[in-house]
Every structure is written in C-alpha cells, then in structure tokens.
Amino acid sequence: MTELTLHPDRLFPADPVVRDIARRLYQQIAHLPIVSPHGHTDPRWFAKDESFENATRLLLLPDHYVFRMLYSQGISLESLGIRRKDGVAVESDYRKIFHIFANHYHLFRGTPSRIWLDSVFHDVFGLRQTLTAASADFYYDEINRQLNTDAFRPRALLDKFNIEFIATTEGALNDLKYHAALKGSGYEKRVVTTFRPDDVVDADRADFADNIAKLAEITGEDTTNYQGYLQALRIRRQVFREHGATATDHGHPTAKTADLSATEAAALYQKCLAGNANSQETELFRAQMLTEMAGMSLVDGMTMQIHPGAHRNHNSQIFQKFGPDKGADIPSPTEFVSNLKPLLEKYGNEAALTIILFTLDETTYARELAPLAGHYPALKLGPAWWFHDSPEGMLRFRHQVTETAGFYNTVGFNDDTRAFLSIPARHDVARRIDCRFLAGLVAEHRLGEAEAAELAYELTYGLVKKAYQLERL
Amino acid sequence: MTELTLHPDRLFPADPVVRDIARRLYQQIAHLPIVSPHGHTDPRWFAKDESFENATRLLLLPDHYVFRMLYSQGISLESLGIRRKDGVAVESDYRKIFHIFANHYHLFRGTPSRIWLDSVFHDVFGLRQTLTAASADFYYDEINRQLNTDAFRPRALLDKFNIEFIATTEGALNDLKYHAALKGSGYEKRVVTTFRPDDVVDADRADFADNIAKLAEITGEDTTNYQGYLQALRIRRQVFREHGATATDHGHPTAKTADLSATEAAALYQKCLAGNANSQETELFRAQMLTEMAGMSLVDGMTMQIHPGAHRNHNSQIFQKFGPDKGADIPSPTEFVSNLKPLLEKYGNEAALTIILFTLDETTYARELAPLAGHYPALKLGPAWWFHDSPEGMLRFRHQVTETAGFYNTVGFNDDTRAFLSIPARHDVARRIDCRFLAGLVAEHRLGEAEAAELAYELTYGLVKKAYQLERL
Amino acid sequence: MTELTLHPDRLFPADPVVRDIARRLYQQIAHLPIVSPHGHTDPRWFAKDESFENATRLLLLPDHYVFRMLYSQGISLESLGIRRKDGVAVESDYRKIFHIFANHYHLFRGTPSRIWLDSVFHDVFGLRQTLTAASADFYYDEINRQLNTDAFRPRALLDKFNIEFIATTEGALNDLKYHAALKGSGYEKRVVTTFRPDDVVDADRADFADNIAKLAEITGEDTTNYQGYLQALRIRRQVFREHGATATDHGHPTAKTADLSATEAAALYQKCLAGNANSQETELFRAQMLTEMAGMSLVDGMTMQIHPGAHRNHNSQIFQKFGPDKGADIPSPTEFVSNLKPLLEKYGNEAALTIILFTLDETTYARELAPLAGHYPALKLGPAWWFHDSPEGMLRFRHQVTETAGFYNTVGFNDDTRAFLSIPARHDVARRIDCRFLAGLVAEHRLGEAEAAELAYELTYGLVKKAYQLERL
C-alpha cells in the first residue's frame, strides 16, 4: 500500500533558487478566494443543495477527461455506465465501474486528471493511500460515506472551497429556474449564469428552427424576421443579466466573423431559418452573429467569450450511441487574424468592450493572439483552455504570450469544469504554475520579486474580477 | 588533440536533483535489449553476414543526415562520392571523402548526428580522440581495420548491440530473398521484414502501372480490376507475414483517408491504372488505400504505421542528378483531424486494431494527435520522427503529448535508420531523454519514482513489444 | 523609490552550473563590436550628427512596441502624441506624454521592451532608480539634459556603443542623400544603406504606377515594358551598392515565389502597371519579383533578405487616422515549402548566393526552415524576428532550429530597430541568450566548452560578417 501525499512543492521546479521564490510568491496568494467566471457546474446543485449520490456518479460519469482515456485503451463506454441514447442497458453497478477506474488508474500518469483526482482524494476526502485495485473498495465506501454528510452538500462545499464567485453556463432558451430559485438565498450573486446562445445562432443544428420558434415563444418577439430575432436575443441577454450574468460565451467551430449589411444579414437569416443554407452560409451566419453579439455587449456591458476551434463529436459512432461530450471533441487548426478582422474593424477599438479569446491551437499564442491582444483595446486573452488546462499547457501559454501581450492583457484562470470537487485543485494548479513562471523571471533578473508578488495577485484575483466585471460585486 | 569522451550524465539536466533521479531511472533500463520495430537496415547484411567495406561507405554514403548538412554548406554531392544517375564519374577516393567529412565535422555541433557519430566512434570503435582534420587518417584506417575483423560482421554486431529484434522495410514487390535466406539460421524471428506498399498504391509514380503488372505476376491475381488488386495485396501481406512481418508501413504525402463505395473505388482504380487520374484523384486513391489497408490489418492482425507529411525530393536538380533520399525531403504542414476521419469512422473504434501515427509537423502533437490517440482505441502515437528524432525533438514530443494522451498511448522508440552502427546510440538517446523527462515529473512531485521506473521500462521495452505484437516472440 | 539595477547574471538560468558556463562564454564575447546588418535607424542622424530633441520624441514616439501596448490598454494614440494624418491636433506636451508612459510602465513587465528600456535608462543615461510616476519628471529632465550634450550626438553614440557597422533600410526610389553626405566623412563604410524595393514591386500599393514612373525618371530607363523595368532595378541596385549596400530586403505578405516565362512575366507586369491586376495577380507578380531579385543578387553579389508573413495595418481605423507602423501589424501563418520552390528550383543550389529567411510563424522553424536551410546551399536562417526578438523567442529559435540546421546555417543577430539607443541592449540580450543556450549544451555534455566558445564568437561576430559579406570591410 503506497501512501498518498501531496508534496507542498509540487509543480514547482527542482532548482532550489527558483523553487524558493515560487514558494514565497505562492504563499502570498494560495489562500485567496476562488473566482470561477466560466464553468459547467449544475446550478441545480446550488439551488437544491442536495447530497451527491456516489463516487462514480459524481467523479467519473460527468468527466469526459476520465472516460476518454479509459476508452482509448479499449474499455467500452457501456462498461463505464455511460447511458446509451437507444436505452440499451449499460453497466449500472457503480462499485464495479469504480473498480474498472481504479484498475486503470496508471493510465493517468503524467496527465492533469491524475493531479486533480489525487488532490480531490487527499484534500477533499482526506484519503491517505493511493488508489489501486486493492484500495478501490475502501475509496468507494469512504467517499460515499462522506458524500452523505452535510459537510459535503453543494453550498457547504462552496464555503469549504472558498469559492467567492462561480458562473455556470446556460443556453439562450434555458428557463434559468435554478438561478431564479437562488434569489433571496444569499447565493444569487455568488452563483450566476452565463449567456450561451449557440443553440439559437448555429443553423447547422437539427433543432435550429425549433429553437428559433421557442425563442419567439419565450420572448414574445416575431423571430420570423431578422430584426425580431435580434430583439429576442437582446431580451434574453437582459433576462440572463437579471440572473446575474456578466458574460456571454460563444463556442464556434472557427473564429470567423462577418459584418454584413442589414439586408444581407436578414436574407441570410431567412435562408438559415428555412433550412436552405449550405455549410458556408451557416458558417457565415455564425460569423455575422459574433459581430452582432459584440455590438450587443457594447450596449449591455456583458463581457464576451469566444471559444473556437473544436471539431465536436468527431466519432460518429460514439455520438450516435451516446450523444455529445463523450471525449470525442478534437481541436482543429484555428486562424484568427483574417477571421476576426470584420468584428475587429467594427468594434476592436472600443476600450469599453471586453472580448476574451480562447484557443485550442497553441500555434496561435505567439503568432496571432498575443499580437492581437497587444494591440486591440477590446481584446483580452483567456487562459490555457481544455486540453491545455494543465501544467505544461499553462507554461506554454505564459512563455508564448507574455512577451508580446504582457500580463495585463490576460484575465486570470478559468476552471471550465463540471467536476465540481476538482475546482480547488484546478485553481491551485494554475496558481502554482503562475508562481513558478514568475519565479523564473525573478531568478533570471527579468522582474523584481515585489513586482512578481503584485502580478501573482493580479493573475489569481485582480485581473479576473476586472475582465468579468466582478469588481462591483 | 582533444580527448573524445562520452560523459555518463550526457543528455541529463544539470540540476543535481533531477539528474540524480534521471541517473537512477536510466540505470534500471540502460541494459535492456534493443527492440527496433521500424528501420531501414539492409536485410542482405544479416543474410550474408559479410564484412562492411570501409568507413566512408558504411558511415557516410548512406546517411543523408550527414551529406545534407555538408551540401547545405556548399560541398558538392559529387565530391562526397554520391553516385550520379547519368553515370558521370564522382569522387571515388574514399579516404579523400572521409577527409572532407572530418574537415567539416564542426558543422554538426548541436545536431543529433554529432551525438550518434561520436557514440559510434567511442563505443563501437573505441576511439579516444575527437575527429578533426588531424585525426582523419587515423580514424579512417582504424575503423577500416576493425571492420575487417569478425567481431564487426553484421550478426556479431547484432549480438554486441544487444538487438533482440529488428525490422527492415521492403516494398510490396520485393522478393524478400534475404529474409528467406535467414530461415533456419536462428535469425528469422530476430530480423524480419515490414510490408510497405507505397509503390503499388501511389499512382503518381511513373512506374505505377508496371508495378501493378508485376503485382499480378507474382501473385497470380488479375490486377486489372480492383477486387483482384485488393486480393493480390492480401496475398503479398500474407507472404510478408510468413517472412516475419508484424507491421505495415505507409509513407504518404498527407494523412488523407477516404471511404469510397466499392463502385467508386473500382472506377478510381481504373482511372489510376490507365494513367488518366489527376493529382486530386491519385491523392484520393492513396486515401482510399489507407482505409483498405486498415481493414486488411483488422483481418490479418498486422500493426499499421502511417508516416505522412514529407514533401519528397523537393530539389528537382538533385533528384534528377542523384535520385531520391539525398537529404532534400522537407516536412509540410500536416492535418489529421479531417483527413483521418473517414478511416476512423470505419475502424477507429476497433480495439483489436493498432494504427501508429507519426508526424513531421510538431504543431499537431498537442492539437490533434494527442487528443485523437487519447480517444480512439485503434490509435497510438509513434515516437518523434526523422528531423525530430533528437534530444530536443523527443522532449517536445513528451512535453506536448503526455498530458492528453498519457504514456500508454505511445509505443516506445523507433530508430528508423539505415545507419546500422548508430542504432545503439539512437536508442540510448531515447532512453536518456525519456528518463530525463520522467525525472522532471518526479522532481516536481507529479509522479512517484517507483511509477517512473515502471514507465521507464514501458517506454523502453514494454510498450513497443505490445504495439508491434512482439510479445509472443 | 526602488533602485534600478541590471544584474550581471540577467537572462542566465538560475542553475549555478549552467549559469557559470554561460558567464564564462559571455565574458569572452560581451565586448565584441556590434555588427548591425539590418535595421531602421535614420541615416540623417549620422549624416547631420545633430542632437536628439527630447526623451519622448526619441524613446517613445518612434517605438511601436511601446505605444502598441499602451493602446491595447485603452490609452489613445492622440494622447501619446502620435501625429494624425488629417492634421487634427494631438497631445504635444512631451512631458505629459512621458508621464502617461511612466504611469503605465508596469504594463511592460515580462516584455522585451522592459529589458531594453531599463538597459537604456541604466547604461546609456546612468539612471539608478526605476521609472515610476514619482520619478517621471526626474527621468524626463535628466534624459533631456544628457541628450543636449555632445556625448549624445549620433556619431558619438556609434563610438560609445562600439558599433562597427550599421545598415539602414531605404526604398528603391530613395535619393540616398544622407548616405551620399556621409561620403568622405570616414563613416561611409560604417553606416550603409540596404536596398528595399517593396514600393516598386508591390502592385497592391495605391502609388505603384507613380513609383514606376519615378523609377523611370531617376534611372532613365523605359519602365513601361518589363525589360526596361528590370534594367531600372539593376541600375538602382548598383546605386545602392555605391552607397555601401551589401544586402537587399524584401517584406512580402507571403513567401510565395514564381518562375514565369519572360512572356508571362511581361504580360503580368503590364496588367499590374495598368492597375488591372486582381489580388492573385499582384501576389504572383511579387512572387515573380522575388525570383528576379535572387537572379540579380547572383549577378551583383548582394545578400538577399526575405521577411514574409506580416499582415500589415490590420486595424483600418488606425491606419486611416495615423498611417502605417502603429503597432497594428499582425503575423499570419506562413508557408515556405511550396512557396519557395520556384525560386529554389532556379537558384537554391547556388552556393555563391545567400538568401536569408525570416519568419513570424515559429511553427516553421523546425518543420520547414531548418530542413530547407539544412539542405539548400543558397539558404540561411535569419534570427528570431520582431515579436520573437525576445529572450523566449530567441530560445525557441535555437531550440527548434539547431538540431536540423546546425549553427552554421544561421547568420547572427539583427536588431531591426529604429530605437537607436536600444541597440546595445538588444545585441546584449542576443549574446546572453546565445551563451545561455550554448551553456545548456555544455552542461548536458552535448558540446565541449571550447567548442561553445568558438560558437559564441561565431554567433556574435563571425557568421554575421560572412552572411552579409562584411569580411572585406
């Protein structure tokens, strides 16, 4: 039986000079509250405050990082209890599933999932032996036992985790009932929504026309014409604002933007709505809508996030059997310089606007994103995203972005997760890596240590509150 | 005269903490047998077991890494003794050529060729002074003297180098006579072939129709129709199997795959065979054939290797004068996500299939390859290839691949070389770099040292035997 | 008040072993003369030798690295005194502008501008406190006081900075009057021009036809036909040669080259000249002209520099209000392997020709540029350029280029700047980073220290003089 430990110097470099500086910087920011401005936790948890069911349903089933890796090594999703769309039965013995996971825990060596999971086991559940086939039952029982206590209900965990602010993400048609339920609870400014309109701007979706009809229904606007559609979106943005949203989010296949004339845009909308648009036209419509959304952000003040470049549901067999978000989204090469130009020509010089760019294509960090953010007042750079939300990924981000964009055109950390229990670990990794990066600059006499300490605070707490407009909260 | 030394800590980092861990890991795997599942040594060497001729013919003339660099600095290929296709005489004084090489040995500073060559000089020939103009004659005479001894005949070197397994690479039409000659020698499972059908699937080749005719001849199939052609390929695969092959290899300009209907594929084949296909159609045919080959691998169990992205023979003058493989192959941007989709839609979910992907475009490591291999059961990632088979290249591979694909979706090291004497040095570089990478994780408390030791074994010996199905040997 | 110091070990790694080697290497080359073969200083400075006006006009207004960053954080260019094209008044209180800069000096943390500026403050002006709002007046007054002394006139600074050679860059139509004025001054071989013909080869420019007419006027050639146009260019190249030029420079949107027949090229030229060419045709004309220029270089012996890949003036609002070079040039993905092929097919094998390639797309370092330069005799690689002229950028260049291209296919450092006072700091950063990189190789036993010392000299002084043909000077 091997002891599970989290070394106090983990993720710091071995060099004693750099490590000592990193330690000192980290000690000054380790206990700052967590600000989580972008993520995918379930607002129901915070509204209902019910206990989580069991280790498998909480830690494994929602985490596509975990079952992606198991699947890649030949373990079927059925055996992991992932629900099939056709209703065919899948493994429902959660203990058995947890055993499969434990038996293959070595697959995660060298991955961020391993860091997050070990942190959850050690810090959240107080486990002190490593996860192996031999300890699987003990893990499963002990985690379940603790999940049933009051200390592990969602609101208690918000406190335990020192989460000052957390944003969830909802589609434009969401009724926001859980956020509504939070009103008056004292949590309504701590847990807020984010406006994500992909389902009503992406005409490639099979349900696009239905979604537009629903949009009409819930807003009372006539969405059969473009102006009514835009007005309906403005109304929905306002409703999200009233449920605490300070930001919008846009997940598009590419970063393409457009600035069509009102007539062209209206005609394109009709074509999309009628289901007659080809894939170039639906792409152009999404592109136009990014620019429209930037314009709306300038009016209503919401920070705009753009997450381009994922080829969603690359594996059709998996998508047909199990649906989306099953670990089969693959990054694609992403171009920003030409694609963002129409939007930037119109709104890039607006200092009152904040557009946060993310990428899955790290080649754009130094080549495109840092130069763009180091010039346009409206642009800021989001942190290393998704596959790159990892020690190496974060280091590459800082190493490739900082010299051209500086630190002040970045916006702190996003955990972007539905794995609620891993949130402290994820923020801790970001804090450690940022302190390590800063310590390197100090050790090489490229930055004073007092400046580095100021920056550590900004990267952890100051910049995120500014970028997402949380300062007034 | 400068002493030639190979420092025991070479390629390990200077930091004493990390270096000591790297040393400990390395000591546990340094003496493991060499498994070389992909390379270009000449099977004749092992079949005939004759002495190598001289230092120039063995070390320089076959090594395009070496004369590429000399040529880039204005030294003509003629003066290096590279044979011209038109029969015009070139330098034939091998001692003189060796002198040119020695005089320019400084050009290799900082390159992997320098590491490999110094290792060969030091470890294989026992030389203890550096190669310079002054030592060139001594080198030349001493190497030639040793090459003439029995200890330097190919089979003796296999033992000396502790090579447990080595695969050569032969075209689909090769008569495999040297592998046949090995039968009964006790070497037939130690030296095997690999099925490389590029010459019968690439309709851009001037000799394509001739090759297809030969394919008919040696298989007895009617290759004038697509089904006969496919059957002929199945037969050849079987013959290669009988000569020990456990793998196929596919060197294509791009990673494009296709899944045409049987009718479409047959029509395209006719067009290619008639010489009427344009470059898009020959590309589509190669794409279709990758998918067909994956299907055949699923049946006959051979591991499939895909090596895309080299722009072959970029320098037409050199190609016309000297032919292929003269250091003028240049990597190109390579896209995998869309290009592999047709093949993956058909076979990507097959856990019984192993497809190993290589790339010359490092931007795809973190963006495309690691996410693909971290999801699809059929995919694994080959090691850093060709220009990237180097200390920095290997480090970039591990740093960019591991967090998303883990270690267990990789397949150990390939030396991919025709420079037989450098094989131990190449494997040693890979072992040192892997141990160094693992040591970094241990020193930063991201991995336990016992786990790292397990991984060092896997990266050196375990994973390659599994991926190339050598476990039963 | 914080003390401004420049640590003697700045930019060296913290590890004491590597740092000590880096120190030893650096001490051997730190005081070598500066050779600056590519830059944008104003030849008028050296011809007239007048005092610089004030800190703001010298240090801030010409430095788009500086106001780019300020602008990205919402500070208007008007408030920074950047002249508007429409003549609308902008801030003209230079002290006030200097205060804005001082108040935002924290934005440059982690950027190379910070290193260069601190070095100028400390080493050139002897300032010993950091720049802050509180010290801004002292800085402004003290810098201005010193600028008014004889020791700070341009020629005195050339001596103070130990600049042995500096090339400026002039357009093909420039009258070169300042270089003419230098003749007989003793500076005419120390300050020379570079031939940059973009204004007469880029038919996308609004003034293209006018420029061609001027070209006719100053050369006496009939530029209404292609042969006359080429002859006029040959004449201008000769005039530049007579003003000391040893090199040409070509700033193109892409690396595209072409090798049209004389008839095709002449017809394309007519179309461009008549203003009837579309964007593909103007691109093709630029492509053809790169190949023509390479041919002329082979005749007149000038080294050719190609700087592709900047999307110039990305921000139309800024361009319309303020003109070019306002920090709104953004790098784009750049392809070399196919694009350079026509030129390389014609001239790539010429060992007498030197073509130096630069890139803003770092993904091409290991994938395309190092393999090309490691093969073609005519190609060399320029240093990390523009956004990548920074500690991290230079390290990435060496790490990604060296193993395939070696050191001897590179050409030393370019400062590429109009910020004259920062030239020593920029060269010092390059020397430190090169020594650091070499020290890493020595510490890991990949290179001997004596070899590293030889290389440090070559990277600082030897290779640049060879590549730009300054050895005979």
The string of pLDDT tens digits covering residues A206-260 is 999 999 999 999 999 999 999 999 999 999 999 999 999 999 999 999 999 999 9
Query: What count of other Cβ atoms lies within 10 Å of the Cβ of residue A319?
Result: 16
Q: How close is the nearest chain A Cα to the Cα of C146, in Å?
A: 27
C331 neighbourhood in chain A, CB within 8 Å: 337, 367-368, 371
Q: Which chains touch A (3 or more CB pairs under 8 A)?
A: B, C
How far apart are alpha carbons A375 and A392 in whole angstroms? 27
Indicate if the pLDDT at residue A471 is higher than 90: no
Best of C76, C116, C314 to disrupt the A interface (most A CBs within 10 Å) is C314
Asked if B403 lies within 8 A of A72 by C-beta distance, the reply is no
A2 neighbourhood in chain B, CB within 8 Å: 448, 450
Task: Tell me the residue type at B4.
Answer: L
How far apart are alpha carbons B283 and A332 in whole angstroms? 22
Query: What count of other Cβ atoms lies within 10 Å of the Cβ of residue B210?
Result: 12
Which two structure tokens, joined as six digits, stand for B388? Answer: 């990237």
Question: What is the tens place of the pLDDT at every residue in C33-60?
Answer: 999 999 999 999 999 999 999 999 999 9
Where does C35-173 have alpha helices with state H? Answer: 43-48, 55, 64-72, 94-103, 112-119, 136-147, 154-160
Residue C471's pLDDT is 83
Query: Which contiguous run of DSSP H or E holds residue A265?
Result: helix A262-273
Residue B21's pLDDT is 98
Question: What is the tens place of the pLDDT at every residue in C317-375?
Answer: 999 999 999 999 999 999 999 999 999 999 999 999 999 999 999 999 999 999 999 99
How far apart are alpha carbons C141 and A361 in whole angstroms? 47
How far apart are alpha carbons A260 and A268 in whole angstroms? 9
Biggest CA pair distance of chain A = 70
- Range B51-151: architecture per CATH: Orthogonal Bundle (1.10)
Question: What is the tens place of the pLDDT at every residue in C220-262?
Answer: 999 999 999 999 999 999 999 999 999 999 999 999 999 999 9
C360 neighbourhood in chain A, CB within 8 Å: 367
How far apart are alpha carbons B165 and A2 in whole angstroms? 36
How far apart are alpha carbons B113 and C2 in whole angstroms? 50
By three-state DSSP, how is residue C22 classified? helix
Instruction: Name the residue of chain A whose CA is nearest to C311's CA.
Output: A337
By three-state DSSP, how is residue B355 classified? strand
Q: How close is the nearest chain A Cα to the Cα of C28, in Å?
A: 20
Find where tokens 């642009």 sit: A379
Give me the percent of chain C exceeding a pLDDT of 70.
100
Query: Which contiguous run of DSSP H or E holds residue C463?
Result: helix C463-467
Asked if B373 lies within 8 A of A72 by C-beta distance, the reply is yes
Q: Are C21 and C137 in contact (CB under 8 A)?
A: no
How far apart are alpha carbons A433 and A435 in whole angstroms? 5
Contacts B–C by Cβ distance under 8 A: 129
Identify the CATH class of C16-50+153-467.
Answer: alpha beta
Instruction: Name the residue of chain A whose CA is nearest to B377's CA.
Output: A72
Mean pLDDT of chain C, nearest integer: 97
B441 neighbourhood in chain A, CB within 8 Å: 110
By three-state DSSP, how is residue C247 classified? strand
Can you state the angle between helices B391-405 and A391-405, rounded to 10 degrees?
A: 120
Strands (E), A289-419: 303-308, 310-311, 330-331, 355-357, 379-381
Residue A375's pLDDT is 98
CA B422 to each of CA A28, B113, B257, B430: distance values in angstroms, whole numbers, following the listed order: 52, 9, 34, 13
Q: Which chains touch C (3 or more CB pairs under 8 A)?
A: A, B
Best of B20, B67, B72 to disrupt the C interface (most C CBs within 10 Å) is B72
Query: Which contiguous run of DSSP H or E holds residue B304?
Result: strand B303-308
Question: What is the tens place of the pLDDT at every residue in A114-170?
Answer: 999 999 999 999 999 999 999 999 999 999 999 999 999 999 999 999 999 999 999
Asked if A69 lies within 8 A of B406 by C-beta distance, the reply is yes
Q: Are B435 and B22 in contact (CB under 8 A)?
A: yes
Beta bridge partners of B34: B163
Asked if A349 lies within 8 A of C74 by C-beta distance, the reply is no
In this complex, the residue of A10, A71, A328 whose CB is nearest that of residue B445 is A10
How far apart are alpha carbons A116 and A422 in whole angstroms? 6
Question: What is the tens place of the pLDDT at every residue in A296-324?
Answer: 999 999 999 999 999 999 999 999 999 99
Contacts A–B by Cβ distance under 8 A: 129
Is A188 buried (19+), middle (13-18) or exposed (0-12) by CB count in 10 A?
Answer: middle
How far from the centroid of its chain's Cα atoms is residue A35's Cα? Answer: 13
Asked if B360 lies within 8 A of C368 by C-beta distance, the reply is no
Q: Which chains touch B (3 or more CB pairs under 8 A)?
A: A, C
- Output DSSP code: residue C138: H
Is A9 buried (19+), middle (13-18) or exposed (0-12) by CB count in 10 A?
Answer: middle
B72 neighbourhood in chain C, CB within 8 Å: 373-377, 379, 405, 409
Residue B473's pLDDT is 56
Is B388 buried (19+), middle (13-18) or exposed (0-12) by CB count in 10 A?
Answer: buried
A344 neighbourhood in chain C, CB within 8 Å: 314-315
How far apart are alpha carbons A366 and C387 in whole angstroms? 8
In this complex, the residue of B337, B400, B409 whose CB is nearest that of residue A72 is B409
Find where tokens 């989001």 sit: A382
In this complex, the residue of A348, A374, A450 whose CB is nearest that of residue C68 is A374
Q: Are C123 and C425 in contact (CB under 8 A)?
A: yes
The domain limits of chain A are 16-50+160-467, 51-152
Asked if C391 lies within 8 A of A403 by C-beta distance, the reply is yes
Best of C408, C434, C435, C441 to disrupt the B interface (most B CBs within 10 Å) is C408
Q: Are A358 and A327 in contact (CB under 8 A)?
A: no
Asked if B450 lies within 8 A of A2 by C-beta distance, the reply is yes
Asked if C332 lies within 8 A of A406 by C-beta distance, the reply is no
Q: How close is the nearest chain C Cα to the Cα of B21, in Å?
A: 15
How far apart are alpha carbons C290 and B51 in whole angstroms? 51
By three-state DSSP, how is residue A445 classified? coil
- Output DSSP code: residue A58: I
How far apart are alpha carbons A34 and C412 in whole angstroms? 47
> Could you tell me which of B174, B326, B169, B346 has the C-alpha nearest to residue B251?
B169
In this complex, the residue of A18, A375, A403 whose CB is nearest that of residue C72 is A375
Which two structure tokens, joined as six digits, stand for A305? Answer: 């996030």
How far apart are alpha carbons C386 and C361 in whole angstroms? 11
Q: How close is the nearest chain B Cα to the Cα of C294, in Å?
A: 17
Q: How close is the nearest chain B Cα to the Cα of A195, in Å?
A: 27
- Output DSSP code: residue B192: E
Query: Which contiguous run of DSSP H or E holds residue C444?
Result: none
How far apart are alpha carbons B334 and B311 in whole angstroms? 11
Asked if B377 lies within 8 A of A316 by C-beta distance, the reply is no
Query: What count of other Cβ atoms lies within 10 Å of the Cβ of residue A186?
Result: 9
* HSE-CB of B42 using CA atoms within 13 angstroms: 11
Examine the predicted complex and report whether its ipTM is higher than 0.95: yes
CA C142 to each of CA A174, B306, C5, C149, C227: distance values in angstroms, whole numbers, following the listed order: 62, 65, 18, 11, 56
How far apart are alpha carbons C305 and C290 in whole angstroms? 10
Q: Are B437 and B403 in contact (CB under 8 A)?
A: no
How far apart are alpha carbons B398 and B380 in whole angstroms? 14
Angle at the Cα of B133 from the Cα atoms of B128 and B138, rounded to 5 degrees: 50
Query: Which contiguous run of DSSP H or E holds residue C330?
Result: strand C330-331
A335 neighbourhood in chain C, CB within 8 Å: 333
Per-residue pLDDT of chain B (473 residues; tens, 9 = 90+): 799 999 999 999 999 999 999 999 999 999 999 999 999 999 999 999 999 999 999 999 999 999 999 999 999 999 999 999 999 999 999 999 999 999 999 999 999 999 999 999 999 999 999 999 999 999 999 999 999 999 999 999 999 999 999 999 999 999 999 999 999 999 999 999 999 999 999 999 999 999 999 999 999 999 999 999 999 999 999 999 999 999 999 999 999 999 999 999 999 999 999 999 999 999 999 999 999 999 999 999 999 999 999 999 999 999 999 999 999 999 999 999 999 999 999 999 999 999 999 999 999 999 999 999 999 999 999 999 999 999 999 999 999 999 999 999 999 999 999 999 999 999 999 999 999 999 999 999 999 999 999 999 999 999 999 999 998 65
How far apart are alpha carbons B60 and B332 in whole angstroms? 26
Q: Are A265 and A236 in contact (CB under 8 A)?
A: no
Q: How close is the nearest chain A Cα to the Cα of B7, in Å?
A: 22
Residue A473's pLDDT is 56
C37 Cβ neighbours under 8 A, 6+ residues apart:
C165, C167, C246, C247, C412, C414, C464, C467, C468, C470
Instruction: Name the residue of chain A whose CA is nearest to C315's CA.
Output: A345
Asked if A375 lies within 8 A of C112 by C-beta distance, the reply is no
Confidence band for A1, pLDDT divided at 50, 70 and 90? confident
Task: Tell me the residue type at C211.
Answer: N
Residue A472's pLDDT is 64
Task: Tell me the residue type at C333.
Answer: P
What is chain C's length? 473
Task: Tell me the residue type at A52.
Answer: F
CATH 3.20.20.140 at A16-50+160-467, yes or no: yes
In this complex, the residue of A74, A318, A387 whose CB is nearest that of residue B371 is A387
Task: Tell me the residue type at C166.
Answer: I
The fold adopted by the segment(s) C51-152 is: uronate isomerase, domain 2, chain A (1.10.2020)
Instruction: Name the residue of chain A whose CA is nearest to C11's CA.
Output: A444
Residue B472's pLDDT is 64
> Could you tell me which of C255, C228, C248, C318 has the C-alpha nearest to residue C38?
C248
Asked if B402 lies within 8 A of A13 by C-beta distance, the reply is no
Q: How close is the nearest chain C Cα to the Cα of A473, in Å?
A: 23
How far apart are alpha carbons A158 and C223 in whole angstroms? 76
pTM, to two decimals = 0.98
Q: Are A468 and A303 in contact (CB under 8 A)?
A: yes
Mean pLDDT of chain A, nearest integer: 97
How far apart are alpha carbons C161 and B119 in whole angstroms? 44
Asked if C68 lies within 8 A of A375 by C-beta distance, the reply is yes
Task: Tell me the residue type at B138.
Answer: F
Residue C78's pLDDT is 97
C89 Cβ neighbours under 8 A, 6+ residues apart:
none
- Output DSSP code: residue C2: P
Question: What is the tens place of the pLDDT at every residue in C80-104?
Answer: 999 999 999 999 999 999 999 999 9
Asked if C333 lies within 8 A of A447 by C-beta distance, the reply is no
A332 neighbourhood in chain C, CB within 8 Å: none
CA B454 to each of CA A106, B8, B421, B438, C235: distance values in angstroms, whole numbers, following the listed order: 10, 22, 29, 10, 70
How far apart are alpha carbons C405 and C393 in whole angstroms? 17
Task: Tell me the residue type at C173.
Answer: L
